[in-house]
């Protein structure tokens, strides 16, 4: 399907897009960096994230829109987060954000993926690009996207993008007690970038993956943050925020509904709750994404090595939503499965 425009965003969005492309679309062509397997050499983590590294991480965090064709217009159905990992527009995110079909939810597969970038940290991200999936693993709940065109349908030469990006770190060098810097667009934070500081609380295993299948953290990961950026104090991505509850038996001591996250004008059980305490979230270590990243960069088809590539035993919440977007209903608590709906609650713009 040829994607000509996102008509429903309106004229004011078009103006913002022009501004965004002026900020990030120009400059000399960038050479695609080769993302190699992380070194096993120990890396000393800084005591805290510097302001320059924080600004870099903010610029490289994107909002991903699941777009659905309705009467010739592309309407946002859900949102998630992602991280630009190369200046040529490679984006790392969750599979349930990029391609719900990879986890068996074929009916919720979007017609296109919109990419919104940050122009100012205190402003909503600006819809600027369309991306396609290059590699996806439903079991790991990871995916790699490539920006291919602007929202106006103009094809993009990836080598000319020169986008801000984050270096890929080594998640095997992460230890209990280390700082975690999490960036994304949670539904409880509106449409602007949200930063959360957390700590590595431990690790969880899976039979097919091993001891470091998950990084556990006390940082809050709510709907919309899925697929975003978890970085160390050196400014490297070391994981992808994925699940709200690190295991099936994880307890939520207090999870309160305090904000109208679905934008229906009422604060009720249909809104996402905010965990107050006793809550552990899961981050997929970035080392598990390396085969997908390398396949995407080398133009190779990625095939999951896991026996249940289309099914995840403890999937990401799928709880992606944002105020003023058309979105799919969320559950009343963060660790319950989503009650997906085809009803359009609201439209953007």
**Over 90: is that where the pLDDT of 274 sits?**
no
Structure-block tokens of residue 62: 């994107």
At 290 the pLDDT is 98
Structure-block tokens of residue 330: 């969320």
Domains of the chain: 171-286 (2.40.10.10)
For residue 155, list its beta bridge partners: 149
Structure-block tokens of residue 329: 């209903």
**Over 60: is that where the pLDDT of 7 sits?**
no
Structure-block tokens of residue 220: 């809050």
Structure-block tokens of residue 169: 């770190």
Q: Please choose, from the candidates 267, 200, 190, the residue with its C-alpha nearest in 3D space to the C-alpha of residue 232.
A: 200
Computed on alpha carbons and rounded to an integer, the radius of gyration of the chain in Å comes to 18
Kindly tell me the burial class for residue 222, based on how many C-beta atoms sit within 10 Å of its own C-beta (0-12, 13-18, 19 or more).
buried
CA distances from 237 to 19, 198, 231 (A): 27, 14, 4
* DSSP-assigned states of every residue in 191-231: TS-EEEEEEEEEEEEETTTEEEEEEEESS---TT-TT-EEE
**Over 70: is that where the pLDDT of 192 sits?**
yes
CB 232 within 8 A of CB 226: no
**Over 90: is that where the pLDDT of 133 sits?**
yes
**Over 80: is that where the pLDDT of 329 sits?**
no
**Over 60: is that where the pLDDT of 332 sits?**
no
Query: How would you label 169-204 residue by residue, b for 16+ Cβ within 10 Å and e otherwise?
Result: bbbbbbeeebbbbbbbbbbbbbbebbbbebebbebb
At 114 the pLDDT is 97
At 260 the pLDDT is 62
**Over 50: is that where the pLDDT of 10 sits?**
no
Structure-block tokens of residue 177: 């007690």
Phi-psi region at 9: left, alpha or beta (left = phi > 0; alpha = psi -120 to 50): alpha
Give the predicted TM-score (pTM) of the model: 0.73
- HEC letters along 119-179: CCCCCCCEEEEEEEEEEEECCCCEEEEEEEEECCCCECCHHHCCCCCCCECCHHHCCCCCE
Q: Token match 């009467």: residue?
A: 71
Mean pLDDT of the chain: 75
CB atoms within 10 A of CB 28: 7
């Amino acid at each position: 399907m040829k994607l000509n425009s996102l008509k429903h965003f309106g004229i004011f969005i078009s103006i913002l897009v022009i501004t965004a492309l002026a900020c990030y679309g120009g400059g000399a062509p960038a050479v695609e960096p080769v993302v190699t397997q992380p070194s096993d050499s120990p890396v000393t983590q800084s005591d805290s994230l510097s302001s320059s590294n924080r600004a870099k991480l903010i610029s490289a965090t994107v909002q991903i829109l699941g777009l659905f064709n309705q009467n010739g217009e592309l309407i946002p159905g859900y949102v998630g987060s992602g991280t630009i990992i190369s200046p040529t527009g490679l984006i790392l995110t969750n599979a349930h954000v990029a391609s719900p079909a990879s986890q068996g939810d074929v009916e919720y597969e979007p017609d296109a993926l919109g990419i919104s970038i940050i122009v100012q940290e205190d402003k909503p991200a600006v819809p600027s690009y369309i991306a396609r999936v290059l590699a996806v693993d439903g079991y790991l709940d990871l995916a790699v996207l490539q920006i291919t065109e602007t929202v106006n349908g103009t094809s993009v030469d990836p080598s000319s993008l020169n986008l801000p990006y984050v270096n890929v770190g080594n998640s095997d060098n992460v230890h209990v007690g280390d700082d975690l810097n999490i960036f994304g667009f949670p539904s409880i934070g509106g449409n602007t970038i949200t930063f959360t500081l957390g700590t590595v609380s431990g690790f969880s295993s899976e039979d097919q993956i091993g001891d470091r299948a998950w990084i556990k953290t006390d940082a809050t990961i709510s709907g919309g943050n899925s697929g975003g950026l978890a970085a160390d104090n050196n400014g490297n991505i070391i994981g992808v925020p994925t699940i709200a509850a690190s295991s099936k038996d994880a307890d939520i001591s207090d999870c309160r509904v305090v904000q109208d996250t679905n934008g229906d004008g009422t604060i009720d059980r249909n809104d996402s709750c905010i965990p107050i305490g006793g809550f552990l979230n899961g981050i997929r270590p970035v080392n598990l994404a390396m085969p997908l990243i390398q396949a995407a960069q080398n133009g190779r088809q990625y095939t999951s090595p896991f026996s249940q590539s289309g099914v995840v035993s403890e999937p990401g919440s799928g709880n992606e939503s944002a105020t003023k977007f058309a979105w799919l209903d969320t559950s009343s608590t963060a660790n319950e499965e989503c009650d997906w709906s085809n009803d359009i609650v609201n439209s953007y713009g």
